[in-house]
Each structure stands twice: as C-alpha cells, then as structure tokens.
Amino acid sequence: MIKTFEAGFTLHPAVNNGKRSQRLRPVIELPFRYASGESLDISSLIDSGADRSVSFKEVGEGLGIKFVGKPSEPVTGITGEESAWQKPVYVTIGNETIHIDVLWMDRKFDPDSDFMMSLGREKIFDVFDVSFTRDKKIIFSK
C-alpha cells in the first residue's frame, strides 16, 4: 500500500535585482523533536539540490539542543563554506517520523533571506519518493 503526504508551496521572502518580493517555494511547516523531548514546528525548505539538512544554532536551541565547543562540520553551498555542529533530530512527515542528522550553523538566522530549515536528500529522499508538481505541490510517497 502506497502512503502519500501532500503539501502546497508557501510564499517566502525573495530578493530579485535588489527588489524585495515573495515567491512560492517548496516550504512546509513540519514538527521536529530533539532527544530531550522538546518539539517545534519549523518552516522547512524541501531542497532536492542539497545533500544534507541544514539549519541555524538559534533554531536548534529552540528545540533544546545544547551546542558545546566550536563547530567543526563543514557546510558548503553556493555562498561558500562555513562550519556547523552536527546533531540528530526527529522530523514527522505525514504519519512517518524519521531520524535525521542536521548541520546547525553558527550564524544569525535572517527571515528575509534564509530558510529556517533546509531538508536535503540524505534520509528524507531515502525514506520517501519526493515529487514537485507544476501546480506547486510537494508529494511525499512511500
């Protein structure tokens, strides 16, 4: 039996040629939980172009994650490279809860340009077949 979960794209701030606007993006609210039991609904970009899942230290602290020492895991993307902490969390998509490792960056979250969470292919795309439709929907099937 195939299980599916479907969600629509949501408006997210964007800057194009120096002008601020909003664009539909594959961003959905998903519940996350850390081992301590803290949970939080986090606006998450479903990023088929990313290998790993990435967020910000301040978002992780909202889940009760304690960050000790200096970050040492490299995060490389189109804007360059920085360091992050790797910490596990649980995310629920539809009725399926899965364990993922997230890289938590030590820089300020900017709601005008950043996504609170970027879910990459590792684990998410291993568990689900993920489709993006022309009518701006994300479909997770298993």
pLDDT tens digits for range 6-50: 999 999 888 788 888 899 999 999 999 998 888 999 999 999 999
Per-residue pLDDT band for 2 (boundaries 50, 70, 90) equals low
pTM, rounded to two decimals: 0.90
Per-residue pLDDT band for 78 (boundaries 50, 70, 90) equals confident
Domain boundaries, the chain: 4-141
Does the domain at 4-141 match CATH 2.40.70.10? Answer given as: yes
Taking alpha carbons only, the member of 135, 24, 131, 46 closest to residue 91 is 46
